[in-house]
């Protein structure tokens, strides 16, 4: 399946250069994870992708303050599906 280029990609990269947190939310199967993985390649600073559906990644956030403090120099990418 081909990737559909998102207009928001450049806007999100701009926001990431300004703000410490940028939320990307949306319904299931709309391309959040694909967009995030593409953005991860374009972000200048090191990044970590955390998949909340992965047990190993979910364990990392059992004590989120401790884990995130160890990665203050990185961009943390966590996709979130909205539930309506």
Per-residue pLDDT 10s for the chain (84 aa) are 566 676 788 898 898 888 888 888 878 888 888 888 888 888 888 998 888 888 999 899 899 999 999 999 898 888 776 555
Say if residues 79 and 32 touch (Cβ distance below 8 Å): yes
pLDDT of residue 26: 79
Q: 61 by DSSP, 3-state: which?
A: coil
Q: Which two tokens stand for residue 68?
A: 């995130």
pLDDT of residue 83: 55
pLDDT at 59: 92
- Round to whole Å and give the CA distance between 46 and 53: 22
């Amino acid at each position: 399946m081909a990737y559909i280029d998102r207009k928001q990609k450049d806007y999100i990269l701009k926001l990431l250069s300004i703000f410490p947190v940028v939320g990307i939310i949306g319904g299931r199967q709309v391309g959040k994870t694909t967009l995030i993985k593409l953005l991860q390649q374009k972000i200048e600073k090191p990044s970590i992708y955390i998949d909340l559906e992965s047990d190993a990644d979910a364990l990392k956030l059992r004590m989120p303050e401790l884990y995130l403090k160890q990665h203050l120099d990185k961009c943390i990418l966590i996709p979130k599906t909205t539930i309506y």
